[in-house]
């Protein structure tokens, strides 16, 4: 019995050694994360897998996708991994057969519906869109309908779905959840709402007092408030939209095992704790919220279907452009 136990122990050690050896080589990550966050993520992963070398290319999701599609067309894609803003883009790549499934990824701790059911892409965060207001605003908005009040005529700014993936998902979510659908956006236009640019433009205008209220992703104003900016962020009572900053492995990867290990790290509690330390609401439901966020029970997520939004993407952009004259 002792000999058999010893032999099995040797086999386990050998298997672990082979696994560690397999998680080596090089990986290229294309990401829309801020560069500092991307480097922190890579450093944390390499602390567990020091034999894996990772380089990354950082840009906004639209520019990254333009680069990646040019590489596809040339027959020479460079990325092994993609960590970008939204699941709609991932759905398009999945439909084209550009992603590699990771069936063994452990998603048991996560609620249903947060990851791709076929395990081609996985949520790493929940970046919600809510309301930012300057502390000089005439009142504290509590919900989306408050943005239609006459006191905010000409004082509201929001990113355009033509420029922001998060804004596209936000428009799809709100029009699918609020009574009247697109009537909400028509009323915003009638209240002289400014639509254009991206989330950073919204923050700049509201923090600077050019506009008093805006729609924006959560972490930006929460971080700026901590630095002393005169802004507050509200999670509206009706609920919020969310992008999940999904990660996926490209089907062309030359280092599948190391790429899967990277995904596993992001989904692990350790990887999710890192996201929280970086100031994001982790996708893992048991990870504490970052400073400045309310309890998870106070954050209501509206329903969102990325596959349906992909199918409706052109219509959503056109409808928004028609309403706001863009």
Run means of pLDDT, 10 residues per run, the chain, 326 residues: 40 39 85 94 97 95 92 96 93 97 97 94 96 97 97 96 88 94 97 91 97 96 96 97 96 97 98 95 95 91 92 95 90
Q: What is the pLDDT of residue 188?
A: 97
Q: What pLDDT shows up at residue 164?
A: 83
Q: Which domain holds residue 109?
A: 24-125+244-293
DSSP secondary structure string, 260-305?
HHHHHHHHSHHHHHHHHHTT--BSSTTSPPPTTPPPGGG-PBPP--
Q: For the chain, how far is it from start to end, CA to CA, in angstroms?
A: 77
Q: Are residues 64 and 148 in the same domain?
A: no
Ranges of beta strands (E only) in 92-170 are 99-100, 121-122, 127-134, 156-158
CATH label of the domain that carries residue 184: 3.40.190.10
* Number of domains observed in the structure of the chain: 2
Predicted pLDDT at 299: 93
My answer on whether 209 and 315 are in the same domain is: yes
Based on the fold, state whether residues 226 and 316 are members of the same structural domain: yes
| Model confidence, pTM | 0.83
How confident is the model at residue 81, as a pLDDT?
98
Residue of 101, 52, 80 lying closest to 254 (CA atoms): 80
* Contact (CB, 8 A) for 51 and 24: yes
Answer whether residue 157 is part of any domain: yes
Helix (H, G, I), strand (E, B) or coil at 64: helix
In a domain, 145, yes or no: yes
What pLDDT does residue 242 have?
94
State residue 119's pLDDT score: 98
Residue 48 and residue 28 share a domain:
yes
Same-domain check for residues 29 and 133: no
Burial (CB < 10 A; 0-12, 13-18, 19+), residue 87, is buried
Judge whether 98 lies within some domain: yes
- Is 238 contained in some domain? yes
In a domain, 153, yes or no: yes
Shared-domain flag, residues 135 and 103: no
Q: Within a domain: residue 8?
A: no
Task: Examine the domain organization and report whether 73 and 33 are in the same domain.
Answer: yes
- Does the residue 284 lie in any domain? yes
DSSP label at 137? S
Residues 111 and 183 occupy one common structural domain: no
Q: Is residue 236 part of a domain?
A: yes
Q: Are residues 169 and 274 in the same domain?
A: no
Are 55 and 45 spatial neighbours (Cβ–Cβ below 8 Å)? Answer: no
How far apart CA 56 and CA 30 sit, in angstroms, is 6
Residues 274, 315 within the same domain: no
Same domain, 43 and 78: yes
Q: Are residues 319 and 232 in the same domain?
A: yes
């Amino acid at each position: 019995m002792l000999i058999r136990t010893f032999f099995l122990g040797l086999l386990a050690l050998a298997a672990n050694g082979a696994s560690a050896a397999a998680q080596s080589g090089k990986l290229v990550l294309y990401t829309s994360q801020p560069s500092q966050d991307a480097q922190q993520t890579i450093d944390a992963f390499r602390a567990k897998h020091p034999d894996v070398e990772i380089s990354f290319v950082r840009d906004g999701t639209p520019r990254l996708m333009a680069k990646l599609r040019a590489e596809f067309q040339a027959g020479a894609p460079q990325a092994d991994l993609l960590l970008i803003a939204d699941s709609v883009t991932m759905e398009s790549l999945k439909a084209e057969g550009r992603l590699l499934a990771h069936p063994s990824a452990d998603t048991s701790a996560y609620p249903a519906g947060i990851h791709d059911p076929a395990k081609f892409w996985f949520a790493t965060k929940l970046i919600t869109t809510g309301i930012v207001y300057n502390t000089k605003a005439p009142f504290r908005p509590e919900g989306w309908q408050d943005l239609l009040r006459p006191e905010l005529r000409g004082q509201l700014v929001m990113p355009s779905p033509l420029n922001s993936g998060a804004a596209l998902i936000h428009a799809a979510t709100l029009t699918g959840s609020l009574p009247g659908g697109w009537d909400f956006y028509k009323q915003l236009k009638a209240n002289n709402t400014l639509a254009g640019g991206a989330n950073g433009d919204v923050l700049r205008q509201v923090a600077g007092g050019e506009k008093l209220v805006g729609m924006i992703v959560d972490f930006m104003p929460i971080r700026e408030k901590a630095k002393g900016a005169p802004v507050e962020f509200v999670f509206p009572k009706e609920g919020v939209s969310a992008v999940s900053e999904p990660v996926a492995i490209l089907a062309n990867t030359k280092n599948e095992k190391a790429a899967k290990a990277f995904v596993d790290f992001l989904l692990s509690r350790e990887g999710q704790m890192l996201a929280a330390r970086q100031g994001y609401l982790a996708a893992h439901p048991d990870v504490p919220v970052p400073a400045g966020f309310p309890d998870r029970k106070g954050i209501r997520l509206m329903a969102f279907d990325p596959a349906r939004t992909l199918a409706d993407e052109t219509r959503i952009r056109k409808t928004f452009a028609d309403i706001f004259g863009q």
